[in-house]
Every structure is written in C-alpha cells, then in structure tokens.
Amino acid sequence: MKILVGYKRVVDYNVRIQVKPDGSGVITDGVKLSANPFDDIALEEALRLREKGVASEVVVVAIGPSDLTAHIRNGLAMGANRAIHVVSDQPIEPLAAARVLHKLAEKEQPGLFLLGKQAIDDDANQTAQMLATLWGRPQATFAGKVEVADKVATVVREVDAGLETLEIDLPAVISADLRLNEPRFIKLPDIMKAKSKPIETIAIADLGVDTANQLQTTRYTPPPTRSRGVMVKDVAELVAALKNKGLL
C-alpha cells in the first residue's frame, strides 16, 4: 500500500508573528520557516505504518514556490521514499489545495492519504475534509490513534464528548491530531540520504484545477495588547474591583 502525506511549510511555531505596517500580511522576510507541526505528525504515522509492514511506500506532497526544496528534503530525511512538489507562486486556499491533492490521489492511487488536521498559519482545518469529499472516500479527522488491517483503518478520534472510534474502508483520508505520536528526530545520515531521493516537480497549471481564491483578505491586524494586571490586597477588594468592571 502507498501512503501520500500532505506536507506544508509554515512560519515556525516558535516565531513571534508580526504584522506588516500596511496591514497587508505578516512579515516573513528573514523569518524561520518549517514544517507544519501537524504534518510532521502525519508523516511520522505514515512511516510507522510502513515499518509495521502495512505500507510499502510513503510519498510527501508539498504545494508551494520553487524554493520549497529544503523543506521537502526535511520530509525525505524523516524517512519518506520520495516527494512530489506542486509548484505555485501564489497562496493556495484549502479548496484549491484539496483539488490539487485530489488530482495527485487519482494519479498515485494511494491506499491512504494522511494530513495534519490543520495548518498553524491559517488554522482552517478544511483541506482533509474537502479532499475526502472530492475523492469520494471515507474520512476520519482528529485522529489520536490509527490501526490498519485488512484494508480497514480503525481510528480513535477526539470529539467534544471524549473519544470516538471509527472503522473506515481504505482508500481513505485521515487527519492527524496532536496526540497521535511524537515525530522522530532527524539524524545526520538521514539528511545525507535525503539528497539522493527523488523529487517530482509539477507546475500547478499542468494539473488543470481551479485554484482561484474564493476569499479576499482585506486587512491583517495584530491582537490587542494585554492590559497590565492589578494587584489586590484581599478578597473584598477583588470583589469590589470586579463589580466596578461590571463583571459581578
């Protein structure tokens, strides 16, 4: 079985985001970029399934500009067999990304498509669900545990009421939640091996999908600055302060 893994590049989660002075976006010049943390978890799960003998090949799929090679090599260094780079110089919304991934699913015919549940740049949490709908295959989102046997995936997922267990027929789409696993540390020999692994490059226009934006962002604004805390001497002063603010 082949597993495809969505692998997006985002601003590193340790970076303090700053909005451009004109409000047209966030500052990315000179900012550290890295793999979306949820995508690293999805890739780790795919690699573990391959190590269990469930899958024979793991392919990372990335959509982005031509300078995405270093990011893709990171996924190959983790252990993916090969990569597909869909080149696009324009930002891609979730629906357009799902259409691209659907085309690749039709081409590659994977038994499983794994994605992170959301990307930390837009927090959209839409691509996996849209891909499953376009592909006409079952989906299991927010996966906290995945087991695959006899062309059936058993997924334990987090819901508001607790944990839910689903059984879905393969091929299917699964999105990884935070507690699914802990991604492995990349070793130097694996980085060297990644340099010789193949990366297939495809221009997004060659896929024949509609990538027009459905939304228009008018302005970016930073969150309001938090006001300083107020120290009180006792409970009575605290209650009085809350009443003055209309909170009691």
pLDDT at res. 11: 87
Residue 92 sits in which domain range?
2-244
Average pLDDT (23-28) is: 82
Encode pLDDT of 169-179 as tens digits. Answer: 999 999 999 99
Residue 75 pLDDT greater than 90, yes or no:
yes
Q: With 90 as the cut, is the pLDDT of residue 31 above it? A: no
Model's pTM, two decimal places?
0.85
Task: Report the mean per-residue pLDDT for the chain.
Answer: 92
Residue 224 has pLDDT above 90, yes or no: no
Number of domains, the chain = 1
pLDDT given for residue 212 in this prediction: 85
- pLDDT at residue 235 is higher than 90: yes
From residue 27, alpha-carbon distances to 72, 117, 211 in Å are 22, 25, 24
CATH number for the domain spanning 165: value is 3.40.50.620
- pLDDT over 90 (residue 183): yes
